């Protein structure tokens, strides 16, 4: 039996007795934010007198930044600035989940608040109607750190039957995947789909298409929902880009990109121009495609297991071993989108989408303005 948390074994029937109690006109609002690691999420809940109808009706709040790797104890208060509101699939309507930006005592963005600068860039390129879709891979673990449903003292059969697999010997943890999917739909997250991945206990969900800053907002909340669902089942979802050493696939966050010009007739020429620009900035992008300046991707982008080498930039039609893949249908129709396969599973979507927008759309304009 997989190692699950003790709290997941508590009596859920007793819990449901309390969860079904009426709450009058009051509303529970759960504030969600990214902590000082740049990867983990934190949350806390407060009561509002009435259900908020818009993000503007949700008040700012604060928290102790010295307990989240974001401040010194002598000056620890940090501001929570609500930026996007979702329905709460755990406490149900009228309760809300609210994604927040974090500001320091001087009301400047915290070091891991990449949303603020991303939003500035997305405002500059909004006339291009830039769409993103991000494919979030993750791996299920027991709380002992061992992959969920793997043999306690060994390994499952080699990769092959697991990708989009069905059956108890191929799909490990589908209950979690399906509950997460429904939680995203209820919340209003733009989840596009899901599938089992190449390594057993590894799954993927896709979010998008989202325009501009919306991409990062929806993916971070989808990640929060994943961790909460896993908590209920007593297991852990890791976004580590290479959770198992050896001949096992890593985990990425492939990022699909298009502008209005790329989606129109003859858009392939704009896709090719964007890819050319990305190739010239390969080292800079690698530095922001994981939280550790490329060190996490060093373990994943080996040139094996459907990845390109971290040291080389490549592009190709229907090539999953390239840095940038042009889908076969896009190559045939001469319009659509491209897929950047380099971002790691634990990337910050704000940092990734910001870098892509700057490289593809802004740098040439800024040079021309000088």
pLDDT (tens digit, 9 = 90+) per residue, 79-136? Answer: 999 999 999 999 999 999 999 999 999 999 999 999 999 999 999 999 999 999 999 9
Mean predicted confidence (pLDDT) in 333-352:
97
Query: How does pLDDT run across 309-321, given as a tens digit for each residue?
Result: 999 999 989 888 8
- Confidence band (pLDDT; 50, 70, 90) for 369? very low
Give the mean pLDDT of the chain.
95
Pick from 208, 209, 212: nearest CA to 124: 212
Mean predicted confidence (pLDDT) in 61-85:
94
- Is it the case that residue 293 has pLDDT exceeding 80? yes
Mean predicted confidence (pLDDT) in 202-217:
98
Joined together, the tokens standing for residue 251 give: 């985990």
Mean predicted confidence (pLDDT) in 38-48:
98
- Is residue 198 within 8 A of residue 249, CB to CB? The reply is yes
pLDDT at 347: 98
DSSP collapsed to 3 states, the chain: CCCCCCHHHCCHHHHHHHHCCCCCCCEEEEEEEECCCCCCEEEEEEEECCCCCCHHHCCCEEEEHHHCCCCCHHHCEEEEEEEEEEECCCCCCCCEEEEEEEECCCCCECCCCCHHHHHHHHHHCHHHCCEEEEEEEEEEECCCCCECCCCCCCCCCCCCCCCCCCCCCCCCCHHHHHHHHHHHHHHCCCEEEEEECCCCCEEEEEEEEEECCHHHHHHHHHHHHHHHHHHHHCCEEECCCCCCCCCCCCCEEEEEEECHHHHCCCCHHHHHHHHHHHHHCHHHHHHHCCCCCCHHHHHHCECCCCCCECCCCCEEECCCCCCEEECHHHHHHCCCCEEECCCECCCCHHHHHHHHHHHHHHHHHHHHHC
The crossing angle, in degrees rounded to 10, of helices 349-357 and 214-233 is 160
Pick from 333, 313, 109, 18: nearest CA to 325: 313
- Confidence band (pLDDT; 50, 70, 90) for 364? low
Query: How does pLDDT run across 163-176, given as a tens digit for each residue?
Result: 999 999 999 999 99
Query: How does pLDDT run across 263-289, given as a tens digit for each residue?
Result: 999 999 999 999 999 999 999 999 999
């Amino acid at each position: 039996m997989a190692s699950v948390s003790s709290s997941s074994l508590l009596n859920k029937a007793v819990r449901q007795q309390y969860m079904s109690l009426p709450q009058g006109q009051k509303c529970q609002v759960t504030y969600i934010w990214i902590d000082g690691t740049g990867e983990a999420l934190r949350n806390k809940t407060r009561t509002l007198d009435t259900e908020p109808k818009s993000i503007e009706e949700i008040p700012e709040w604060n928290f102790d930044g010295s307990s989240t790797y974001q401040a010194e104890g002598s000056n620890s208060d940090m501001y929570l600035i609500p930026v996007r509101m979702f329905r709460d699939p755990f406490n149900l309507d009228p309760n809300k989940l609210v994604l927040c930006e974090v500001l320091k005592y001087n009301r400047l963005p915290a070091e891991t608040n990449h949303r603020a600068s991303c939003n500035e860039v997305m405002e500059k390129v909004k006339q291009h109607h830039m769409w993103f879709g991000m494919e979030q891979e993750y791996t299920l673990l027991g709380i002992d750190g061992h992959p969920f449903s793997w043999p306690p003292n060994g390994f499952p059969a080699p990769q092959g039957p697991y990708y989009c697999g069905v059956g108890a010997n191929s799909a490990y943890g589908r209950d979690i995947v399906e509950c997460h999917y429904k939680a995203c739909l209820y919340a209003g997250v733009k989840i596009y789909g899901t599938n089992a991945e190449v390594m057993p206990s590894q799954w993927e969900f896709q979010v998008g298409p989202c325009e501009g800053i919306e991409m990062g907002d929806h993916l971070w909340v989808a990640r929060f929902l994943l961790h909460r669902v896993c908590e209920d089942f007593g297991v852990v979802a890791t976004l580590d880009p290479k959770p198992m050493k050896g001949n096992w696939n890593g985990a990425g966050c492939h990022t699909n990109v298009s502008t209005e010009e790329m989606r129109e007739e003859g858009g392939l020429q704009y896709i090719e121009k964007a890819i050319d620009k990305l190739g010239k900035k390969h080292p800079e992008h690698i530095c922001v495609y994981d939280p550790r300046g490329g060190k996490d991707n060093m373990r994943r982008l080996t040139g094996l297991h459907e990845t390109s080498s971290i040291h080389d930039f490549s592009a190709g039609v229907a090539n999953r071993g390239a840095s940038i893949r042009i889908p076969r249908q896009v190559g045939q129709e001469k319009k659509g989108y491209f897929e950047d396969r380099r971002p790691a599973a634990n990337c910050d979507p704000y940092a990734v989408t910001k870098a892509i927008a700057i490289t593809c759309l802004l740098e040439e304009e800024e040079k021309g303005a000088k």
